[in-house]
Structure formats: structure tokens, C-alpha cells
Amino acid sequence: MYMGGFKRTKIVCTIGPASHSVAKLKAMMKAGMNVCRLNFSHGSHADHRKLVRNIRKAADEVDVTVSILQDLSGPKMRVGDMGDGVKLKKGSTVVFSSDAKNKKALHVKYPYLERDIKPGNRILLDDGTKEVEVLSVRKTGVTCKVIIGGTLKSNKGFNLPGAKLSISSITEKDKKDLVLGLSQKVDFVALSFVRSARDINRLRAMVKKGWKKSDGIVPAIIAKVEKPEALQDIEKIVRAVDGIMVARGDLGIETPAAGVPVAQKHIIDLCRAAGKQVIVATEMLASMVDRPRPTRAEVSDVANAVIDHADAVMLSGESATGAYPVQAVSIMADIARETEHSKYDDIGICETGDVSMKTHRRVGALVGVLAQRGDVSAVLVSPVASDLLPQVVFFRPEVPLIVGHENQRVLAQANLRSGVYALPKVSKSQDGFLKHVREYAKRVGVKQSDTVAMIHKKGFGLDLHVGRLKDIY
């Protein structure tokens, strides 16, 4: 079913006007899309309800597990209505104000602007393409000198690098959006502009409070790392979350851009060691918004994220508003597969080096060895052993990890992990699981005569069974 064959690296796609139809979603799923991101910075609640319906309808028709990620907009600062655009001339002065009624200033949608900013601060506008320096601050507005000019259009981003913001990372809008997301039973909730582990703990408490036990496991929490404060508290944040999104767009504005690649690698290493999922995002194939082919640099960017051992790579404008959403998914999948077939994304078992590792981690290491040596063509993780996935994924075995469970939401959350093939049908028994494995194995290139390893739990112990797929029980 997968065009080009099974890939281990997952693809997250932002869904928007270019990709919201059932037909387009089905094409993207066949091309390799695994997770649909709903960006709550745009669209109404009615729009998002319709998107959820379309995604689930498309996934059902294609017969695949596709997860839904709700991305809360957070305290993103933007300028207000700029009409046809305001020209900022280098060397000139400009006044910004949080008061929309102040006709002598450009409006900024941030109520604490005059409180949080100080003379000498830099302000970056429109994804950092324009820059001003703060000269003076009054209650009525902030006077700035234009350092890098250009035409400023409505609703463009407004960043204050280094400034400590008074606003909470979870806004009133986020709270209302979260209620909608929970009612739609999203699989993941991503929080923007996380500054500390406390932000994650607050969100998790809100999710648990608003979640119905009858709906199964609660949505997993993803922290978007895009603030310098998050980098300073990154180890605690990784411990507090279920996964991380390396949101390189705002991170490259809020912190020196030259440090972003190293920060990306550091965050991925922390997540892998902790068994947490990690997504690399922003501008991965940005030129494909209006071009049918990516640049060579973009191809290298995607490949390097795979080599860094990210679980997933993400498309933003390319899939939401671009002219070539299906092609972008297909090309990203091709890059991932090609890189995965190389030696450069391999994890050597000796890299872990801990002979005293716990039993679960040892089982993961053994599975990794079997896969590296070519002894098995797939690893089957039975429904009762799905909690072992982080330990198995840790060693990135170069074969599909076929996972079954009686709860579709467990499968949807496992679906973000590298190498996992989450069965599209729930498995309520061991026999049902094996029936579904045999039914879907050919999708990931596994034959009935191939040797596979199956991880199963028996009481308090673990069972690792190796045999031909058609004979395994």
C-alpha cells in the first residue's frame, strides 16, 4: 500500500486549505503521512471539527492508523491590522502599542507589551525578516528605531528575544481550544512556547480534568521547544512530557540561529535516552510551498534529522497551504527511506554500553541485535506488551515493529514512534493480534515464511519468541 515501501521515520503534516479534502488526505496517507497536525492558530472550531471528520473518514477508507495532533497556538505575539502594509524604513522611528485605539502607533496583540519591554531590547518581526531596537518605553507605546526595514503586513509575528513575558504559556484561547480538542478525542496535544516543566504539568492537569475515563487513555502531551527558557530547563521538560517538537522557526528567532542545529541534536539525544518521542519541524521542504521540487539543502535537512534519530519530521506550510502537498509527503518519505537504508542512521548496540540495564531494556537490545544481524524481518509487539515500545524503539531496529492493541488510541499514540507499524484494527486477543499481523504483514514487506520475533508478557515476565510468521503462536 505504501508508495515506495515501508519507512521507519514518521511524517507529520499540517492540514489546511491545500489538504483538507478527504481525497487529498487519502493521497497523502498513501504517500506516507502518519500524523495530521491541526494548527489552532488558524481556523474556527467548526473548521477543526470538519477536519477531524475528514481525517478519520480518509484513514478508514485507506485502512491505516493515522494520528491527530492538536497544536495549541499559545501566547504568539502578532501585529494587528496593517492595512495594505506599513513600510519600515531603515533608520526611521516607529511606535508600537498594545492599545488598538492608539492611532499614532502600530497595534501589537499583546496586552503586556509596555510592561515587558525595556530600552535596548530587540524586536524581530515577520519571522525575523525585519528588526527594530527599542529606544524608549511609555504607557502609551514603545518607540523603536528600524534596523532592518521592509513592508510589515497584518498579523505577522512579533518576537521579543530575551524578554521575560508576563503572559502564561496557556492562554484563555488555548483553554477553549483544548476543550474542543478533547471533545474530538485528539491523540496528542502540543503546547507552544513552553518555558518550563511547570507549563507541561499545568496542561496535563487540564487534560486529565477535561478527559472522560470512558474515552480511554488521555492524549499525550508534546512540548514545542522554541524559547530560550525551554532550552535552559530542557532536561526537566523532557522528563515531564510524552514527546518534544523541535520548533526551529521561533527557536531560530528567539535564540541565535547558528545554535539551532546543535540544540536539535542535543534535544533528540535527551529524548531518545528518556524513551520520549521527538519531532523535528519547520521549513524542512519550505521551497515546495510553490515549487514541485525541494532544494538540495532541504533534502539534506530532512536526511540529517533521520540521521539524528528523530522519530518524525514535519511539514508545515508545504502541506497546509502549498501547491504540492502530496508531492511534498512523497519526497519526504523517499528521503527518509533512502537515509534509513544507509549506515549513517544506525544505532550500534555497543553505544548503549550499560550491562546492568533493566530487563525491558535488555529485551530491546536483544531485538536490536537480531534485527542488525538480519535474523528477523519484523518484530511483533503483542497487545499486552505495548508498554515496552520505548525500550525496543530505543535501539532503532531496522525492521518494522508491528504493534497491536485493543484500544485504538494506544495504537494512534504508538504511531508517532520511529519504526512502529500500528495495526489499523484493534486486537482484543493474542489470536486476533496474530490474525491481523498476518493480514497486514505484506504492507511492510514481510512474508509469511519470514522469521520474526514476538515480544509477549506472561505474568510478571517477558517472553521473546522467534520463528516463521506463519508458525508463530
Residue 156 is among the residues annotated as catalytic for this protein: no
- List the one residue out of 135, 133, 129 whose CA is nearest residue 151: 129
Contact 92, 62 (CB under 8 A): no
Catalytic residue among 7, 26, 224, 272: 224
210: amino acid identity, one letter: G
Residue 45: CB partners within 8 Å, gap ≥ 6?
A: 177, 180
Residue 224 is among the residues annotated as catalytic for this protein: yes
Three-state secondary structure along the chain? CCCCCCCCCEEEEECCCCCCCHHHHHHHHHHCCCEEEEECCCCCHHHHHHHHHHHHHHHHHHCCCCEEEEEECCCCCEECCCCCCEEECCCCEEEEECCCCCCCCEEECCCCHHHHCCCCCEEEECCCCEEEEEEEEECCEEEEEEEECEEECCCCEEECCCCCCCCCCCCHHHHHHHHHHHHCCCCEEEECCCCCHHHHHHHHHHHHHHCCHHHCCCCEEEEEECCHHHHHCHHHHHHHCCEEEEEHHHHHHHCCHHHHHHHHHHHHHHHHHHCCEEEEECCCCHHHHCCCCCCHHHHHHHHHHHHCCCCEEEECHHHHCCCCHHHHHHHHHHHHHHHHCCCCCCCCHHHCCCCCCCHHHHHHHHHHHHHHCCCCCEEEECHHHHHHHHHHHCCCCCCCEEECCCCHHHHHHHCCCCCEEECCCCCCCHHHHHHHHHHHHHHHCCCCCCEEEEEEEECCEEEEEEEECCCCC
Residue 321 is among the residues annotated as catalytic for this protein: no
Catalytic residue among 78, 109, 145, 173: 78
Residue 49 is among the residues annotated as catalytic for this protein: no
Catalytic residue among 282, 409, 443, 451: 282
Residue 114: CB partners within 8 Å, gap ≥ 6?
A: 97, 98, 137, 138, 139, 140, 141, 142
As given in the structure block, the three cell numbers for residue 236 are: 526537566
Residue with cell 502518519: 34
Q: Return the active site residues.
A: 37, 78, 224, 282
